[in-house]
Amino acid sequence: MLSKLEFLVCTLRVFPENMRRNLEMTHGLIHSQQVLLLLTEKGITREKAYRLVQRNAMKAWETGEHLQQLLSQDADVVKFVTAADLKKVFDIKTHFRDVARTFKAVGL
């Protein structure tokens, strides 16, 4: 199994532009968990935050509009968060902030 894993890692081909395009196809839905956490940090109950995120996520999925844009136009959301808050949670770098530490911890 280790030999197979080594082969896979050594021969892995990465296509960054394809990866970015695939992420963009989600219309921001990959950030929905960060939005949920942001809303709960701002004092909204988890249940209400979930309903707000779900409502906007479904609209993004159905219409192709970006989730960040929909959230910034939702009066129930903007009562609690700023445009700067949303910009921060929609930053793709958030998902990668611990990559270097994780790789170091596993010896890579």
Do 48 and 13 touch, CB atoms closer than 8 A?
no
Answer whether residue 108 shows pLDDT above 90. Answer: no
| Mean pLDDT, residues 12-19 taken together | 92
Torsion angles phi and psi, residue 43, rounded to 5: 105, 0
Domains of the chain (ranges plus CATH)?
Answer: 2-105 (1.10.40.30)
Answer whether residue 98 shows pLDDT above 90. Answer: no
Mark out the alpha helices in the chain (DSSP H runs).
2-11, 16-24, 32-41, 46-63, 67-72, 75-78, 83-89, 93-96, 99-105
Angle, to 10 degrees, between the axis of helix 32-41 and the axis of helix 46-63? 150
pLDDT of residue 102: 87
Q: Whole-model pTM above 0.75?
A: yes
Name the pLDDT band for 37 (thresholds 50, 70, 90): very high
Residue 59 makes CB contacts below 8 A (sequence gap 6+) with 65, 70
Name the pLDDT band for 62 (thresholds 50, 70, 90): very high
